[in-house]
Structure 1
Amino acid sequence: MKLSNLEVGQRYARALFEVASKNKQQEDILQELVGISQVYQEIPNLGVVLTSNELALSDKQAILDLIKKNASSLMQNFLQMLFDYRRLEDFTAIMHAYTVLYDKKSGVGHVKVQTALALSNEQQQALKQALKKRFNLQQVSLQIQVVPEILGGLIIQFNNVIIDGSVQKKLQQISRVLLQD
Protein backbone atom coordinates (compact mmCIF):
# COMPACT_ATOMS: atom_id res chain seq x y z
CA MET A 1 0.00 0.00 0.00
CA LYS A 2 1.44 3.32 -1.09
CA LEU A 3 1.71 6.08 1.52
CA SER A 4 0.23 9.48 0.77
CA ASN A 5 2.47 12.51 0.38
CA LEU A 6 1.21 13.78 3.74
CA GLU A 7 2.02 10.50 5.53
CA VAL A 8 5.49 10.37 4.01
CA GLY A 9 6.07 13.98 5.04
CA GLN A 10 4.99 13.34 8.61
CA ARG A 11 7.10 10.20 9.03
CA TYR A 12 10.31 11.64 7.65
CA ALA A 13 9.79 14.97 9.44
CA ARG A 14 9.24 13.21 12.77
CA ALA A 15 12.43 11.20 12.34
CA LEU A 16 14.43 14.29 11.36
CA PHE A 17 12.96 16.28 14.24
CA GLU A 18 13.89 13.58 16.75
CA VAL A 19 17.51 13.47 15.56
CA ALA A 20 17.70 17.28 15.42
CA SER A 21 16.30 17.44 18.97
CA LYS A 22 18.90 15.01 20.28
CA ASN A 23 21.60 17.17 18.69
CA LYS A 24 19.92 20.42 19.80
CA GLN A 25 19.69 21.54 16.16
CA GLN A 26 15.93 21.91 15.71
CA GLU A 27 16.06 25.57 14.69
CA ASP A 28 19.18 25.18 12.53
CA ILE A 29 17.57 22.31 10.64
CA LEU A 30 14.38 24.34 10.20
CA GLN A 31 16.41 27.17 8.65
CA GLU A 32 18.14 24.72 6.31
CA LEU A 33 14.82 23.22 5.28
CA VAL A 34 13.47 26.69 4.53
CA GLY A 35 16.54 27.47 2.43
CA ILE A 36 16.25 24.25 0.45
CA SER A 37 12.51 24.80 -0.03
CA GLN A 38 13.39 28.08 -1.76
CA VAL A 39 15.37 26.05 -4.30
CA TYR A 40 12.28 23.88 -4.76
CA GLN A 41 10.18 27.00 -5.34
CA GLU A 42 12.62 28.35 -7.92
CA ILE A 43 12.74 24.97 -9.71
CA PRO A 44 9.19 23.59 -9.33
CA ASN A 45 9.90 20.16 -10.89
CA LEU A 46 13.12 19.55 -8.97
CA GLY A 47 11.72 16.72 -6.84
CA VAL A 48 10.23 14.99 -9.86
CA VAL A 49 13.49 15.28 -11.81
CA LEU A 50 15.52 13.85 -8.91
CA THR A 51 13.20 10.85 -8.49
CA SER A 52 12.40 10.07 -12.13
CA ASN A 53 14.39 7.99 -14.58
CA GLU A 54 14.82 10.86 -17.06
CA LEU A 55 18.38 11.63 -15.93
CA ALA A 56 21.26 9.30 -15.26
CA LEU A 57 21.88 8.51 -11.61
CA SER A 58 25.25 10.30 -11.73
CA ASP A 59 23.60 13.48 -13.09
CA LYS A 60 20.95 13.42 -10.37
CA GLN A 61 23.62 12.85 -7.72
CA ALA A 62 25.57 15.83 -9.07
CA ILE A 63 22.47 18.05 -8.73
CA LEU A 64 21.89 16.79 -5.20
CA ASP A 65 25.53 17.44 -4.30
CA LEU A 66 25.06 21.08 -5.35
CA ILE A 67 21.94 21.38 -3.17
CA LYS A 68 23.56 19.91 -0.09
CA LYS A 69 26.98 21.56 -0.58
CA ASN A 70 26.60 24.13 2.23
CA ALA A 71 24.31 22.08 4.46
CA SER A 72 25.16 20.63 7.86
CA SER A 73 26.24 17.01 8.01
CA LEU A 74 22.84 16.04 9.45
CA MET A 75 21.03 17.72 6.55
CA GLN A 76 23.45 16.26 4.00
CA ASN A 77 22.81 12.77 5.34
CA PHE A 78 19.06 13.37 5.41
CA LEU A 79 18.98 14.63 1.82
CA GLN A 80 21.09 11.69 0.67
CA MET A 81 18.70 9.29 2.39
CA LEU A 82 15.74 10.97 0.67
CA PHE A 83 17.58 10.63 -2.62
CA ASP A 84 18.43 6.97 -2.03
CA TYR A 85 14.83 6.14 -1.14
CA ARG A 86 13.47 8.27 -4.01
CA ARG A 87 11.62 10.61 -1.62
CA LEU A 88 12.96 14.00 -2.76
CA GLU A 89 9.63 14.58 -4.48
CA ASP A 90 8.11 14.65 -0.97
CA PHE A 91 10.53 17.31 0.33
CA THR A 92 7.92 20.09 0.54
CA ALA A 93 5.56 17.88 2.57
CA ILE A 94 8.46 16.95 4.85
CA MET A 95 9.39 20.59 5.35
CA HIS A 96 5.80 21.54 6.20
CA ALA A 97 5.44 18.65 8.65
CA TYR A 98 8.76 19.57 10.30
CA THR A 99 7.59 23.18 10.66
CA VAL A 100 4.40 22.00 12.40
CA LEU A 101 6.46 19.89 14.84
CA TYR A 102 8.85 22.77 15.48
CA ASP A 103 6.04 25.26 16.05
CA LYS A 104 4.24 22.90 18.42
CA LYS A 105 7.41 22.27 20.44
CA SER A 106 8.21 26.01 20.50
CA GLY A 107 4.70 27.10 21.41
CA VAL A 108 4.17 29.05 18.19
CA GLY A 109 0.64 29.37 16.84
CA HIS A 110 -0.31 30.49 13.34
CA VAL A 111 -3.77 32.01 13.61
CA LYS A 112 -5.98 33.09 10.73
CA VAL A 113 -8.21 36.07 11.49
CA GLN A 114 -11.00 37.50 9.38
CA THR A 115 -12.21 40.97 10.22
CA ALA A 116 -14.51 43.50 8.59
CA LEU A 117 -11.98 46.33 9.01
CA ALA A 118 -8.21 46.48 9.19
CA LEU A 119 -6.84 46.14 12.73
CA SER A 120 -4.51 48.75 14.20
CA ASN A 121 -1.16 47.67 15.65
CA GLU A 122 -2.56 48.06 19.16
CA GLN A 123 -5.57 45.87 18.32
CA GLN A 124 -3.28 43.25 16.79
CA GLN A 125 -1.08 43.20 19.88
CA ALA A 126 -4.10 42.91 22.19
CA LEU A 127 -5.47 40.08 20.03
CA LYS A 128 -2.10 38.27 20.12
CA GLN A 129 -2.01 38.52 23.92
CA ALA A 130 -5.57 37.18 24.21
CA LEU A 131 -4.79 34.30 21.83
CA LYS A 132 -1.59 33.41 23.70
CA LYS A 133 -3.61 33.10 26.88
CA ARG A 134 -6.58 31.30 25.26
CA PHE A 135 -4.48 28.68 23.42
CA ASN A 136 -1.51 28.54 25.84
CA LEU A 137 1.04 29.71 23.26
CA GLN A 138 4.43 31.36 23.60
CA GLN A 139 4.15 33.26 20.34
CA VAL A 140 1.32 34.07 17.92
CA SER A 141 1.65 34.77 14.23
CA LEU A 142 -1.46 36.45 12.78
CA GLN A 143 -2.63 36.09 9.21
CA ILE A 144 -5.25 38.82 8.92
CA GLN A 145 -7.75 38.96 6.09
CA VAL A 146 -10.19 41.86 5.71
CA VAL A 147 -13.63 40.50 4.74
CA PRO A 148 -16.24 43.30 4.73
CA GLU A 149 -19.10 40.77 4.37
CA ILE A 150 -18.82 39.73 8.02
CA LEU A 151 -20.00 43.27 8.93
CA GLY A 152 -18.04 43.43 12.20
CA GLY A 153 -16.34 41.30 14.83
CA LEU A 154 -13.81 38.56 14.12
CA ILE A 155 -13.59 35.01 12.86
CA ILE A 156 -10.58 33.26 14.36
CA GLN A 157 -9.19 29.94 13.10
CA PHE A 158 -6.41 28.05 14.88
CA ASN A 159 -5.73 24.39 14.14
CA ASN A 160 -9.18 22.77 14.20
CA VAL A 161 -10.84 25.50 16.29
CA ILE A 162 -13.02 28.20 14.73
CA ILE A 163 -14.34 31.04 16.84
CA ASP A 164 -16.95 32.98 14.89
CA GLY A 165 -17.66 36.27 16.64
CA SER A 166 -18.79 38.05 13.49
CA VAL A 167 -21.84 40.30 13.32
CA GLN A 168 -22.94 38.33 10.27
CA LYS A 169 -23.07 35.11 12.35
CA LYS A 170 -24.99 36.83 15.17
CA LEU A 171 -27.57 38.16 12.68
CA GLN A 172 -27.96 34.67 11.19
CA GLN A 173 -28.57 33.22 14.66
CA ILE A 174 -31.16 35.89 15.48
CA SER A 175 -32.87 35.33 12.13
CA ARG A 176 -33.07 31.55 12.76
CA VAL A 177 -34.62 32.11 16.20
CA LEU A 178 -37.17 34.58 14.86
CA LEU A 179 -38.14 32.35 11.93
CA GLN A 180 -38.67 29.26 14.11
CA ASP A 181 -41.94 30.53 15.61
Structure 2
Amino acid sequence: MSNKAVANRYAVALFELAEERGQTEAFAEELELVDAVLMETPELLALLERPGVAMTNKQALLKHSFGEGLSETVLNTIMLLVERNRFGALKELSNEFKQLTFDKQGIAEAVFYSAKPLTDEERRQIALTFAPKVGKRGLSVDNVVDTNLLGGVKVRIGDRVYDGSVQGQLKRLEKRLLN
Protein backbone atom coordinates (compact mmCIF):
# COMPACT_ATOMS: atom_id res chain seq x y z
CA MET A 1 0.00 0.00 0.00
CA SER A 2 1.34 3.42 -0.92
CA ASN A 3 2.29 6.08 1.62
CA LYS A 4 -0.59 8.21 0.33
CA ALA A 5 -3.17 5.51 1.06
CA VAL A 6 -1.65 4.75 4.47
CA ALA A 7 -1.49 8.44 5.33
CA ASN A 8 -5.09 8.93 4.30
CA ARG A 9 -6.31 6.10 6.54
CA TYR A 10 -4.37 7.32 9.56
CA ALA A 11 -5.36 10.95 8.93
CA VAL A 12 -9.07 10.11 8.72
CA ALA A 13 -8.91 8.04 11.92
CA LEU A 14 -6.96 10.74 13.77
CA PHE A 15 -9.30 13.45 12.47
CA GLU A 16 -12.37 11.55 13.68
CA LEU A 17 -10.79 11.20 17.13
CA ALA A 18 -9.88 14.88 17.15
CA GLU A 19 -13.44 15.87 16.26
CA GLU A 20 -14.89 13.63 18.98
CA ARG A 21 -12.65 15.30 21.53
CA GLY A 22 -12.92 18.81 20.10
CA GLN A 23 -9.16 18.96 19.55
CA THR A 24 -8.90 19.32 15.80
CA GLU A 25 -6.86 22.53 15.91
CA ALA A 26 -4.58 21.20 18.66
CA PHE A 27 -3.83 17.99 16.74
CA ALA A 28 -3.14 19.97 13.55
CA GLU A 29 -0.68 22.19 15.43
CA GLU A 30 1.02 19.16 16.98
CA LEU A 31 1.46 17.51 13.58
CA GLU A 32 2.94 20.75 12.22
CA LEU A 33 5.35 20.81 15.17
CA VAL A 34 6.49 17.27 14.40
CA ASP A 35 6.98 18.19 10.72
CA ALA A 36 9.02 21.25 11.67
CA VAL A 37 11.24 19.29 14.07
CA LEU A 38 11.88 16.55 11.52
CA MET A 39 12.73 19.11 8.82
CA GLU A 40 15.21 20.84 11.14
CA THR A 41 16.79 17.58 12.34
CA PRO A 42 17.17 15.16 9.44
CA GLU A 43 19.36 12.99 11.67
CA LEU A 44 16.32 12.18 13.82
CA LEU A 45 14.32 11.23 10.75
CA ALA A 46 17.14 9.03 9.45
CA LEU A 47 17.46 7.29 12.82
CA LEU A 48 13.72 6.60 13.03
CA GLU A 49 13.70 5.14 9.52
CA ARG A 50 16.85 3.03 10.04
CA PRO A 51 15.92 -0.67 10.14
CA GLY A 52 18.87 -1.66 12.39
CA VAL A 53 17.68 0.40 15.37
CA ALA A 54 15.54 -1.50 17.88
CA MET A 55 11.86 -0.53 18.02
CA THR A 56 12.04 0.15 21.76
CA ASN A 57 14.90 2.59 21.19
CA LYS A 58 12.93 4.41 18.47
CA GLN A 59 9.87 4.66 20.72
CA ALA A 60 11.96 5.88 23.65
CA LEU A 61 13.53 8.51 21.37
CA LEU A 62 10.11 9.68 20.23
CA LYS A 63 8.83 9.91 23.81
CA HIS A 64 11.94 11.82 24.86
CA SER A 65 11.82 14.15 21.84
CA PHE A 66 8.09 14.87 21.71
CA GLY A 67 6.58 13.58 24.95
CA GLU A 68 5.95 17.00 26.51
CA GLY A 69 4.83 18.77 23.34
CA LEU A 70 2.34 16.23 21.99
CA SER A 71 -0.93 14.80 23.17
CA GLU A 72 -0.97 11.10 23.94
CA THR A 73 -3.14 10.41 20.89
CA VAL A 74 -0.82 12.11 18.39
CA LEU A 75 2.28 10.58 19.99
CA ASN A 76 0.70 7.11 19.88
CA THR A 77 -0.21 7.60 16.21
CA ILE A 78 3.40 8.48 15.39
CA MET A 79 4.68 5.53 17.42
CA LEU A 80 2.28 3.24 15.55
CA LEU A 81 3.66 4.49 12.23
CA VAL A 82 7.19 3.71 13.41
CA GLU A 83 6.15 0.31 14.74
CA ARG A 84 4.56 -0.63 11.42
CA ASN A 85 7.49 0.71 9.37
CA ARG A 86 5.31 3.45 7.88
CA PHE A 87 7.10 6.46 9.31
CA GLY A 88 7.67 7.74 5.77
CA ALA A 89 3.93 8.46 5.57
CA LEU A 90 4.05 10.99 8.42
CA LYS A 91 4.45 14.10 6.23
CA GLU A 92 1.60 12.97 4.00
CA LEU A 93 -0.54 12.19 7.07
CA SER A 94 0.06 15.70 8.36
CA ASN A 95 -0.90 17.22 4.99
CA GLU A 96 -4.02 15.06 4.74
CA PHE A 97 -5.06 15.95 8.31
CA LYS A 98 -4.61 19.64 7.50
CA GLN A 99 -6.74 19.24 4.36
CA LEU A 100 -9.51 17.49 6.33
CA THR A 101 -9.44 20.34 8.86
CA PHE A 102 -9.64 22.97 6.11
CA ASP A 103 -12.49 21.12 4.38
CA LYS A 104 -14.44 21.01 7.64
CA GLN A 105 -13.89 24.76 8.17
CA GLY A 106 -14.63 25.71 4.57
CA ILE A 107 -11.09 26.92 3.90
CA ALA A 108 -8.92 26.37 0.82
CA GLU A 109 -5.16 26.69 0.52
CA ALA A 110 -3.99 29.39 -1.85
CA VAL A 111 -0.66 30.59 -3.16
CA PHE A 112 -0.34 34.22 -4.20
CA TYR A 113 2.55 34.95 -6.57
CA SER A 114 3.60 38.58 -6.62
CA ALA A 115 6.57 40.71 -7.68
CA LYS A 116 7.03 41.96 -4.12
CA PRO A 117 5.86 40.72 -0.72
CA LEU A 118 2.18 41.50 -0.14
CA THR A 119 1.07 43.31 2.99
CA ASP A 120 -1.33 41.59 5.36
CA GLU A 121 -4.11 43.88 4.17
CA GLU A 122 -3.43 43.08 0.49
CA ARG A 123 -3.45 39.35 1.24
CA ARG A 124 -6.69 39.72 3.19
CA GLN A 125 -8.37 41.66 0.37
CA ILE A 126 -7.31 39.17 -2.29
CA ALA A 127 -8.45 36.27 -0.08
CA LEU A 128 -11.85 37.95 0.42
CA THR A 129 -12.19 38.31 -3.34
CA PHE A 130 -11.21 34.77 -4.31
CA ALA A 131 -12.72 32.66 -1.51
CA PRO A 132 -16.29 32.93 -2.87
CA LYS A 133 -15.06 32.13 -6.41
CA VAL A 134 -14.00 28.68 -5.24
CA GLY A 135 -16.97 28.19 -2.93
CA LYS A 136 -15.06 28.56 0.35
CA ARG A 137 -15.51 30.76 3.40
CA GLY A 138 -11.83 31.65 3.58
CA LEU A 139 -8.35 31.03 2.24
CA SER A 140 -5.13 29.97 3.93
CA VAL A 141 -2.65 32.14 2.07
CA ASP A 142 1.00 31.61 1.22
CA ASN A 143 2.67 34.54 -0.56
CA VAL A 144 5.51 33.63 -2.94
CA VAL A 145 7.64 36.41 -4.37
CA ASP A 146 8.25 35.75 -8.08
CA THR A 147 10.88 38.14 -9.41
CA ASN A 148 9.89 37.21 -13.00
CA LEU A 149 6.58 39.02 -12.56
CA LEU A 150 6.55 42.67 -13.56
CA GLY A 151 3.51 43.46 -11.48
CA GLY A 152 0.10 42.19 -10.51
CA VAL A 153 -0.71 38.89 -8.83
CA LYS A 154 -1.17 35.27 -9.86
CA VAL A 155 -3.41 33.24 -7.55
CA ARG A 156 -3.34 29.43 -7.40
CA ILE A 157 -6.11 27.68 -5.49
CA GLY A 158 -6.01 23.93 -5.88
CA ASP A 159 -5.69 23.26 -9.60
CA ARG A 160 -7.06 26.67 -10.64
CA VAL A 161 -4.83 29.59 -11.57
CA TYR A 162 -6.11 33.16 -11.82
CA ASP A 163 -3.58 35.27 -13.68
CA GLY A 164 -3.85 38.96 -12.86
CA SER A 165 -0.19 39.64 -13.58
CA VAL A 166 0.87 42.32 -16.04
CA GLN A 167 2.37 39.64 -18.29
CA GLY A 168 -0.89 37.67 -18.24
CA GLN A 169 -2.89 40.76 -19.10
CA LEU A 170 -0.53 41.59 -21.98
CA LYS A 171 -0.82 38.04 -23.35
CA ARG A 172 -4.63 38.20 -23.23
CA LEU A 173 -4.59 41.60 -24.95
CA GLU A 174 -2.25 40.29 -27.65
CA LYS A 175 -4.52 37.29 -28.22
CA ARG A 176 -7.60 39.54 -28.57
CA LEU A 177 -5.80 41.85 -30.99
CA LEU A 178 -4.67 38.96 -33.17
CA ASN A 179 -8.20 37.55 -33.33
- Residue by residue over 1:99-132, the C-alpha shift from the partner in whole angstroms, topping out at 9 and shown as x without a partner, is 1111221223332122345545543332222123
Percent of paired sites with the same residue: 26
Q: Does 1:165 align with 2:164?
A: yes
Matches within 5 A, 1:97-112: 97-112=96-111
The alignment's TM-score, normalised by the length of structure 1, stands at 0.80
Aligned residue in 1 for 2:65: 67
Q: 1:120 to 1:93 in 2, by over 3 A?
A: closer
Structure 2 contact 55–83 (Cα < 8 Å) conserved = no
Structure 1 contact 48–89 (Cα < 8 Å) conserved = no
SS of the residue aligned with 1:55? coil
Aligned equivalents of 2:64, 2:32: Cα separation in 1: 16
SS of the residue aligned with 2:131? helix
Task: Give the deviation of 1:26 after TM superposition.
Answer: 1.0
SS of the residue aligned with 1:86? coil
SS of the residue aligned with 1:62? helix
149-158 vs 79-88, which deviates more?
Answer: 149-158
Q: 1:30 to 1:175 in 2, by over 3 A?
A: same
- Which of 11, 14, 17 in structure 2 is aligned with 1:16? 14
The one-letter amino acid paired with 1:26 is T
The one-letter amino acid paired with 2:44 is L
Q: Does 1:58 align with 2:50?
A: no
Q: 1:43 to 1:129 in 2, by over 3 A?
A: same
RMSD over aligned Cα atoms:
2.6
Q: Does 1:96 align with 2:72?
A: no
Aligned residue in 1 for 2:38: 40
In the alignment, structure 1 segments of 5+ residues that lack a partner are none
Task: Give the deviation of 1:45 after TM superposition.
Answer: 4.0
Task: Give the deviation of 1:178 after TM superposition.
Answer: 4.7
The one-letter amino acid paired with 1:18 is E
SS of the residue aligned with 2:42? coil
Task: Give the deviation of 1:161 after TM superposition.
Answer: 0.9
Greater C-alpha Rg: 1
Aligned residue in 1 for 2:135: 136
Aligned equivalents of 2:174, 2:80: Cα separation in 1: 59
In the alignment, structure 2 segments of 5+ residues that lack a partner are none
